[in-house]
């Protein structure tokens, strides 16, 4: 391959990446305005900064994953190796579990059961899924799901949106009930992620065909 052809390929890839950034930044700012507006209207949990450090750190890690890492992979701004992508997925699952349950996670994992509220349709579940679908609509309108040829890119985008809706709910609700936190926070995030992944794959297929 000649140097001129290589230079053209590099320039084309750079231009594509810059175009994705131009699409990504306005969508990210609007998403932050939406979730920020929700937290301003509904209020932050009063014990936010008094939570155990490990739990608060996990929540901040979820913010980092949903705002930076996962969208960057989904939009083609970052191309980590497969092993690192697996680490990101495991980190996202672990961080979300600790963010929602904190110290109760170990008791649940060791067979201590889930005390407190059982599965039910409540405000937190509805707010998480509702916020997620607002963010999903924003992703569809911005073309985020069709930024790359691979359909798997849509899963990264939808995963980031689902985690954002989840952590907003966690930062609003001060519940110390392990059952509520498991079913209405973490469970709601899992439900949202399944629904958003399906919707994201459909959006990717239809928008790539245009």
pLDDT, residue 16, reads: 54
Quickly list DSSP for 83-118. Answer: HHHHHHHHHHHHHHHHHHHTTHHHHHHTT----S--
CB atoms under 10 Å from CB of 155, counted, come to: 22
Instruction: Specify if 42 maps to a domain.
Output: yes
Instruction: Specify if 6 maps to a domain.
Output: no
pLDDT at position 145 over 70:
yes
Q: Greater confidence, 113 or 172?
A: 172
What's the token pair of residue 130?
């509702």
Instruction: Specify if 19 maps to a domain.
Output: no
pLDDT at position 49 over 60:
yes
Element (DSSP H or E) covering residue 21: helix 3-42
Instruction: Specify if 38 maps to a domain.
Output: yes
Q: Which long-range contacts (CB under 8 A, 24 or more apart) does 156-159 make?
A: 156/70, 156/71, 156/73, 156/74, 157/70, 157/71, 157/74, 157/75, 157/200, 158/193, 158/196, 158/197, 158/199, 158/200, 159/66, 159/70, 159/74, 159/92, 159/193, 159/196, 159/197
Domain that holds residue 72: 25-208
* Residue 210 pLDDT level (bands cut at 50, 70, 90): low
Q: What is the mean pLDDT of residues 31-42?
A: 86
The segment with the largest mean pLDDT, out of 14-23, 77-86, 180-189, is: 180-189
What's the token pair of residue 61?
């890690």
Instruction: Specify if 142 maps to a domain.
Output: yes
Instruction: Specify if 4 maps to a domain.
Output: no
Tokens 């209405």 belong to 184
Instruction: Specify if 62 maps to a domain.
Output: yes
* Residue 31 pLDDT level (bands cut at 50, 70, 90): confident
CB atoms under 10 Å from CB of 26, counted, come to: 11
Say if residues 23 and 143 touch (Cβ distance below 8 Å).
yes
Instruction: Specify if 134 maps to a domain.
Output: yes
pLDDT, residue 139, reads: 80
What would the pLDDT profile of 57-114 be if each residue is shown by its tens digit?
999 999 999 988 998 888 888 888 999 999 999 999 999 999 999 988 988 888 766 7
Q: What is the mean pLDDT of residues 174-201?
A: 91
Say if residues 75 and 148 touch (Cβ distance below 8 Å).
yes
Cα–Cα dist 94/102, whole Å = 11
State how many domains the chain has: 1
What's the token pair of residue 204?
């990717």
What would the pLDDT profile of 107-135 be if each residue is shown by its tens digit?
888 876 677 777 788 899 999 999 888 88
């Amino acid at each position: 391959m000649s140097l001129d052809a290589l230079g053209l390929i590099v320039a084309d890839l750079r231009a594509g990446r810059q175009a994705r950034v131009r699409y990504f930044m306005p969508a990210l700012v609007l998403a932050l305005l939406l979730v920020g507006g929700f937290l301003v209207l509904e209020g932050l949990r009063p014990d936010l900064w008094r939570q155990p450090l490990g739990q608060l750190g996990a929540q901040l890690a979820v913010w980092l994953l949903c705002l930076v890492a996962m969208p960057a992979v989904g939009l083609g701004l970052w191309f980590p190796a497969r092993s690192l992508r697996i680490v990101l997925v495991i980190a996202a699952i672990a961080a979300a579990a600790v963010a929602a349950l904190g110290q109760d996670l170990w008791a649940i994992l060791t067979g201590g059961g889930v005390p407190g509220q059982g599965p039910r349709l409540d405000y937190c579940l509805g707010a998480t899924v509702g916020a997620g679908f607002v963010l999903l609509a924003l992703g569809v309108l911005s073309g985020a799901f069709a930024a790359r040829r691979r359909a798997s890119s849509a899963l990264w985008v939808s995963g980031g949106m689902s985690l954002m809706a989840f952590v907003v709910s966690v930062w609003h609700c001060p519940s110390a009930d392990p059952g509520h936190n498991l079913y209405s926070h973490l469970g709601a995030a899992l439900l949202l992620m399944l629904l958003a992944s399906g919707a994201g794959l459909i959006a990717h297929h239809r928008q790539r065909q245009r």
